[in-house]
């Protein structure tokens, strides 16, 4: 009997005045964050991280700048089809105090890639490229979304 894979959903809220939100649901765990576009284009980095672990061994860390707290979202795929997802919240960027583990799961690499791709495709349907640019202060990551989509669709 094959073990049941946990239910996984990733949602991206439309950017507003340089801020955006994400919601990640994995089975019984739920993680939400609202973060700034400064100092990095975090949404683009989330797509790049999902694409990296979808295509083979990789480790990617994306920092969500909640100001003053920060979320460190790390995806690790070493061998096989499993990805370790770790989400740690730090009180500030100095890391002088230990972080709080918000999520720590092992997931299927394709499930992670598909959930992130679906979340961004949903955002693309709800937010025009002009509105995204105006509100997020960076262009919509179309190339990165298309790359991830190609890898998701390769696997079915």
pTM: 0.93
Tell me how far apart the alpha carbons of residues 35 and 71 are, in angstroms, rounded to a whole number.
9
Mean pLDDT of all residues belonging to the chain: 93
What structural domains and CATH numbers belong to the chain?
13-155 (3.30.2450)
Residue 91 in contact with residue 66, Cβ under 8 Å?
no
Rounded distance, CA 145 to CA 98, Å? 34
Q: Are 83 and 108 in contact (CB under 8 A)?
A: yes
**Residue 43: its pLDDT value, please?**
97
Q: Determine the pLDDT at residue 4.
A: 57
Mean pLDDT, to the nearest integer, of 65-73? 95
Helices (H), ranges, 60-128: 109-126
Task: Give the least confident one: 25-34, 56-65, 141-150.
Answer: 25-34
Kindly indicate the confidence band of residue 29, based on its pLDDT and cuts at 50, 70 and 90: confident
Q: What is the pLDDT of residue 156?
A: 58
- In the DSSP assignment, the letter for residue 68 is S
């Amino acid at each position: 009997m094959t073990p049941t894979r946990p239910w996984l959903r990733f949602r991206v809220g439309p950017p507003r005045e340089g801020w955006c939100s994400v919601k990640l649901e994995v089975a019984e765990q739920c993680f939400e964050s609202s973060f700034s576009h400064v100092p990095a284009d975090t949404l683009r980095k989330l797509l790049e991280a999902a694409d990296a672990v979808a295509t083979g061994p990789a480790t990617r860390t994306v920092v969500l700048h909640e100001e003053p707290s920060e979320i460190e979202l790390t995806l690790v795929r070493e061998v096989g089809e499993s990805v370790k997802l770790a989400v740690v919240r730090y009180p500030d960027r100095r890391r002088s105090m230990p972080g709080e583990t918000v999520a720590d799961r092992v997931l299927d690499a394709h499930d992670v890639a598909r959930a992130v791709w679906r979340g961004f495709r949903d955002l693309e349907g709800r937010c025009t490229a002009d509105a995204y640019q105006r509100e997020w202060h960076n262009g919509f990551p179309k190339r990165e979304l298309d790359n991830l989509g190609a890898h998701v669709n390769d696997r079915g």
